[in-house]
Amino acid sequence: DVKVTQSSRYLVKRTGEKVFLECVQDMDHENMFWYRQDPGLGLRLIYFSYDVKMKEKGDIPEGYSVSREKKERFSLILESASTNQTSMYLCASQGFGTDTQYFGPGTRLTVL
Amino acid sequence: AQTVTQSQPEMSVQEAETVTLSCTYDTSENNYYLFWYKQPPSRQMILVIRQEAYKQQNATENRFSVNFQKAAKSFSLKISDSQLGDTAMYFCAFMKPLYSGAQKLVFGQGTRLTINP
């Protein structure tokens, strides 16, 4: 089975802090994604990556950056956290040429 | 741009009943994929069922089936003999196939389904 793990289930940070959210997948998938989930809005794509060191902006990239130095790991970075970035963050991976995304358990981030 | 709309924010049914969740989408593409994902209270999102737009036959997975109406751009999920474990957020999602690079999912707003004993 595909396993996607995220470094934290719950995270509390202060406004202005730099925040790293880590995601690791164990199925050698080329594609990885970061979404944020907010009530009434569903999931919205922040960034995705289709290869090591490759990244593309999703629908809401402002205030975020990403890093993919190794195939199995995709990091989401909040350079200076703000209260409006309080949300649930979900990571997903997908094999190239396949249509199913596999999700991690999510990280509930609270920015105070 | 593609959009996905789930018009039912919340639904509640009794155990063993049948329930249908609605989803409509907007696209100019002819070939694409549609999905229903389930997110139980434990939060792990899992795939329930998928449909390829070029296939006219509706997909089924045990108690889960879809009613795919391509012309109407409608993709509803039917859960038969509902069980307490079906309690979850359900998301409808659209994927436009890309022939290189990653394939992005566009999600609806979600429907919170509660199965009552």
Mean pLDDT per 10-residue interval, chain A, length 112 residues? 88 97 95 94 93 90 96 96 97 88 95 96
Q: Is A99 on the interface with B (CB under 8 A)?
A: yes
Burial A53-85 (b: 16+ CB within 10 A, else e): eebeebeeeeebebbbeeebebbbebeebeeeb
Smallest Cα–Cα separation from A45: which of A70, A64, A72? A64
Structure tokens at A18: 């730099």
Tell me the per-residue pLDDT of B65-94, one tens digit each, with 9 for 90 and over. 999 999 999 999 999 999 999 999 999 999
In which residue are the tokens 């990244």 written? A55
Computed over every residue of chain B, the mean pLDDT equals 92
* A40, A56, A106: residue with CB nearest B109: A40
Confidence of residue B102 (pLDDT cuts 50, 70, 90): low
pLDDT tens digits for range A31-58: 999 999 999 999 999 999 988 988 999 9
Specify whether the CB–CB gap between B27 and B74 falls below 8 A.
no
Task: Find residues 51-90 of chain A whose CB sits inside 8 Å of chain B.
Answer: 56, 58, 88, 90
Choose the mutation target among A2, A4, A37 for the interface with B, i.e. most B CBs under 10 Å. A37
Torsion of CA A111, B4, B9, B14, to 10 degrees: -120
Residues of A in contact with B88 (CB under 8 A): none
